Structure 1
Amino acid sequence: MKSLLKFITCGSVDDGKSTLIGHILYDSKLLYADQEKALELDSKVGSRGGAIDYSLLLDGLMAEREQGITIDVAYRYFTTDNRSFIVADTPGHEEYTRNMAVGASFAELAIILLDAKQGVLVQTRRHARICSLMGVKHFVFAVNKIDLVDYNHERFLEIEEQIKELVKELSLENVHIIPVSATEGDNVTKKSANTPWYSGEALLTHLENVEIDNKSEEGFYMPVQRVCRPNHTFRGFQGEIEAGSIAVGDEITTLPSNEKALVKSIHVTDKESQSAGQGQAVTIQLNKEVDVSRGCVLTKGTSIAPSKLLSAKILWMDDSELTAGKEYFVKVGTKMLTGVVTDVKYKIDVNTGEHLPTGYLTKNEIAACDILLSEKIVVDEFDAHKTLGELILIDRITNMTSACGVIEDVHNNDAKNGKFAFEYNELKARGDIFEEFYYDTETLSIFKYKPEEKTYTVGDELPVEGDSYKYPENFDLLVLRDGVAIEVRDKKIANIKSIDDYKYQEVPVINGRGFEVKVNSNEEVTTFLNEYKETNEKTLGDFLNKWVKFETYRKVVFHSTN
């Protein structure tokens, strides 16, 4: 028997998703006698004139049956002679897109239904895009209600062309297109004589035979769900192995603390084991004490690294708008912390795939954004390590899930990723003088928003005034961490030089964060630079309190995100 297949049915409202799965269960004799009897009785008062309404097997909520639509995600487990399945029947109505996204997050294959009379609709495109976003690699486009167009081959070919355009636009892989009738059973569990022009497999046959290639991820990693300490002699780290394998004696690296230790013992349930692999829930004991708690990750042979700045593609699911600068709880793997959406870079037109510049998002829109976390955590790109590349945003006030998405880029440090504000010849500096400081009246917290990503060089004019900053037309900018000095005259960059060559020129001096540096002579500049070289994490606060002043050129602006 082939491995378990997890799949989802989706598509526009009333395209027949529940009916299709119900018909598979009924035809395959996968119902208990009482279920079958109840279905026949319920169908007599249904909308099909006494004929069996297969959707009733999945539409369990009273509201669903009354409206004739799916609202919640219905999961069904079934087994044929050739394979075991878990199917998520998801709602097609736009109002319940968040429920559909939940189903897509677990699936390996998506069956996207289309009405043969209507073809590809906006919701069809949205669901295909969400499935692709969630990492689904196998697709079946089921052209349903083929009986209502009299099994017309030409109509099927028209829809096939629409689907091929969508497949090309989204770069979908492993795509099959099957004409079906969920109510009449054509090409659902067996080939239909009504479509002699279709030479492919029936839907269930395809599901039984499809090969799911699960891409192997680099190395071993296990997000820690719980620290187990039943007594003072044992401390184990519990979680599910997401990739790779581990054995007693292996050296692992703990992240984000970056400590190394040897595996002393491995426990699978209540039994000790010499090794364990992907998919197993284990308790791992190390040979020494390390700084590990829930949300940390045990790794071996990977290039995963902690970061606090990431770029993600998200599906916005909240009734309120998303605007840059609002703070949320961010959950990645087993770690949850606060983070700020610093920039909504663009949203994606569901119809055309075009990237549209925007400053906000409304419900069910998909967009690319940047997120700044409150601390460094273990994350990676979704394509590299799936579990560490999935995230959700949670509203801090209501605790509702506001968005789900995938991480597309991780910025481990500014220098490595080339995020420089100033460049000239071999000199590069990061400067954050264009960051805005806002006070969020809803969350009662201060956040930073960085609208500028442009790189400036000699001759460029700088935007010296923003919402929360206003600099003089002439000033010198000292970026201490990169050892670079930028001389600004009449709002333009006159020179970029090494900070070792800088001399005080009787103009205001500003540091790389936009704060006034309290110096008035070359001697004071020299003292300032020498003291900076002697600072460390513990003494940096005292150094800044002595030498810089925030409010000279900056202020905090009140900001409402609703």
Structure 2
Amino acid sequence: MSTLLRLATAGSVDDGKSTLVGRLLHDCKAILADQIAHVKTVSEARGGDFDFALLTDGLRAEREQGITIDVAYRYFATDKRSFILADCPGHVQYTRNTVTGASTADVVIILVDARHGVLEQTRRHLAVAGLLRVPHVVLAVNKIDLVGYDEAGFTKIAKDVNEVADQLGIAHIQAIPVSALVGDNVVDRSAHTPWYDGPTLLELLENASGRIDNSQQPLRFPVQYVIRPQTDDEYRDYRGYTGTVASGTVSVGDQVIVLPAGRRTSIAGIDRPVVTATSTTVVERPSAVAGEAVTVRLADDLDVARGSVIVDAEASPGTRRELAATVSWLADRPLTVGARVLIKHTTTTAQAIVTKITGALDLDTLGVIDATELALNDIGKVQLKIAAPLAADPYSSNAITGSFLLIDAHDGWTLAAGMIDDEEGELL
């Protein structure tokens, strides 16, 4: 089990996400005493009880409006493991921030108000979790105290959410009855829910597994920079290619292919700098695994530049100039056929055109419906034609080389987050 867990919260406005996060941090003793004192003072000035949401809603606009606008990242630890938590906004206007927060999460906690049940934004956030293939989804049925700790109500909400999850291809959801305000089943087990025998939220998080180990996948090494020192010392003939191993393992002697050129060669060396206060030394390594930033040297002088991808010679993805993909549209203006955009895929940025919009996800039926455009927060299927060949995998097999961003070429704004479809072209 990994010692670091990345988690994100999602849910509709006023479902209590920030309060839940504040309660979790408070009960885990991850808040400094002076911050607690400040929140207590502010809460009393407002004439209310201790407002746990103020522990996370740091923007002035958030405190004034009582909603979360931006993704609030918090770091905390227990005796068992460390956590990076992304508290995502619930308002539909900020769904783009939820996509950002959930994109790297091992666990997504989706809150539902026990009084209101499943809402449209609940279905949207479940769709995002399914789209991003988040390994674990937790349903926190919050404010259970406001419905008298009703078991039947909790069971109905859990059943409704599981039905939605089944349609979206989410394999399993753990439902927990909680009260973020009171603290029921967040860190400590509640005496008010004797009918619930599952884990508390913290127990579940401490024992959840992380994402799939990328080191077991075929090698994908996107080149970030080419290093050619212009010196007269021992490095005058040095030619190295730096980047982060996206997946797999690279070892000296491995047979590889450099894409998009398609030239075959082998790994001659792997270097990693060791930086001290007085010097930087290059240390040779026999291998490197997914997540490590290294410099590789090749046995042959090939045409390798930023955007090239070094891949396992026996498991090459090839290159594509056309993509079928699922996108979450994040821009205020709609996406239409013929739109010209930039596509950012690993270390490559290229021009692209939308050749077709083949459907959009209907959040009421969870079916794919015909669409001629995608509006803000729509999840839909598109086809793209790209000016440069991309070394791309389906998102289902490799989340890094299977994902991309669409960017406005004029102002640099991110327009969409995209996932490359598999051969069956499945939406989720």
TM-score tier by shorter-chain length is over 0.9
Which residue does 2:294 correspond to in 1?
Answer: 282
Check whether the contact 1:265–1:284 (CA below 8 A) recurs between aligned residues.
yes
Q: Which piece of structure 1 moves more, 99-108 or 265-274? A: 265-274
State the SS of the aligned residue for 2:297: strand
Deviation at 1:213, TM superposition (A): 5.3
State the SS of the aligned residue for 2:305: coil
Matched, 1:354 2:367: yes
Matches of 2:69 and 2:267 in 1, distance apart?
A: 47
State the SS of the aligned residue for 1:310: strand
Matches of 2:129 and 2:354 in 1, distance apart?
A: 23
Check whether the contact 1:311–1:410 (CA below 8 A) recurs between aligned residues.
no
Per-residue CA deviations over 1:383-409 (Å, capped at 9, x if unaligned) read 122211101111122221111120004
Which residue does 2:259 correspond to in 1?
Answer: 255
Deviation at 1:410, TM superposition (A): 6.9
Check whether the contact 1:344–1:368 (CA below 8 A) recurs between aligned residues.
yes
State the SS of the aligned residue for 1:204: helix
2:374 maps to amino acid: L
Which residue does 1:367 correspond to in 2?
Answer: 380
Which residue does 1:182 correspond to in 2?
Answer: 180
Q: Which piece of structure 1 moves more, 49-58 or 330-339? A: 49-58
Check whether the contact 1:2–1:82 (CA below 8 A) recurs between aligned residues.
no
Which residue does 2:218 correspond to in 1?
Answer: 219
Which residue does 1:116 correspond to in 2?
Answer: 114
Q: Pick one of 233, 238, 242 that aligns with 2:246.
A: 242
Deviation at 1:339, TM superposition (A): 0.3
Per-residue CA deviations over 1:284-321 (Å, capped at 9, x if unaligned) read 11122111111111111323111101100011111111
Check whether the contact 2:139–2:158 (CA below 8 A) recurs between aligned residues.
no
Deviation at 1:163, TM superposition (A): 1.1
Percent identity of equivalent pairs = 42
Relative contact order, higher structure (CA 8 A, sep 6+): 2
Q: CA RMSD in A?
A: 1.6
Deviation at 1:129, TM superposition (A): 0.3
Q: Pick one of 66, 71, 74 that aligns with 1:73.
A: 71
Map of 1:172-211 to 2, 5 A cutoff?
A: 172-211=170-209
Change (3 A) 1:238 1:127: same
Per-residue CA deviations over 1:379-436 (Å, capped at 9, x if unaligned) read 111112221110111112222111112000479xxxxx9xxxxxxxxxxxxxxxxxxx
Check whether the contact 1:379–1:389 (CA below 8 A) recurs between aligned residues.
yes
Deviation at 1:3, TM superposition (A): 2.2
Matches of 1:303 and 1:37 in 2, distance apart?
A: 57
2:23 maps to amino acid: H
Which residue does 1:294 correspond to in 2?
Answer: 306
Q: Pick one of 272, 285, 294 that aligns with 1:273.
A: 285
Change (3 A) 1:213 1:334: closer
Q: Structure 1 stretches of 5 or more lacking a match?
A: 412-416, 418-562
1:367 maps to amino acid: G
Deviation at 1:135, TM superposition (A): 2.0
Which residue does 1:461 correspond to in 2?
Answer: none
Matches of 1:215 and 1:408 in 2, distance apart?
A: 21
Which residue does 1:41 correspond to in 2?
Answer: 41
Matches of 1:338 and 1:245 in 2, distance apart?
A: 31
Check whether the contact 2:112–2:140 (CA below 8 A) recurs between aligned residues.
yes
Check whether the contact 2:219–2:249 (CA below 8 A) recurs between aligned residues.
yes
Matched, 1:149 2:147: yes
Which residue does 1:52 correspond to in 2?
Answer: 50
Q: Structure 2 stretches of 5 or more lacking a match?
A: 231-235, 275-282
State the SS of the aligned residue for 1:305: coil
Deviation at 1:371, TM superposition (A): 0.5
Matches of 2:164 and 2:250 in 1, distance apart?
A: 42
Q: Which piece of structure 1 moves more, 111-120 or 154-163? A: 154-163
Per-residue CA deviations over 1:347-403 (Å, capped at 9, x if unaligned) read 110121121111111111111110100121211111122211101111122221111
Check whether the contact 1:190–1:205 (CA below 8 A) recurs between aligned residues.
no
Check whether the contact 2:254–2:266 (CA below 8 A) recurs between aligned residues.
yes
Which residue does 1:519 correspond to in 2?
Answer: none
Matches of 1:342 and 1:409 in 2, distance apart?
A: 18
Matched, 1:399 2:399: no
Q: Provide the TM-score with structure 2 as the length reference.
A: 0.93
1:140 maps to amino acid: V
Deviation at 1:18, TM superposition (A): 0.9
Matched, 1:92 2:90: yes
Check whether the contact 1:380–1:410 (CA below 8 A) recurs between aligned residues.
no
Matched positions, count: 410
Q: Provide the TM-score with structure 1 as the length reference.
A: 0.71
1:143 maps to amino acid: V
The higher radius of gyration belongs to: 1
Check whether the contact 2:257–2:316 (CA below 8 A) recurs between aligned residues.
no
Deviation at 1:215, TM superposition (A): 5.2
2:306 maps to amino acid: R
State the SS of the aligned residue for 1:388: coil
Deviation at 1:2, TM superposition (A): 4.5
Which residue does 2:277 correspond to in 1?
Answer: none
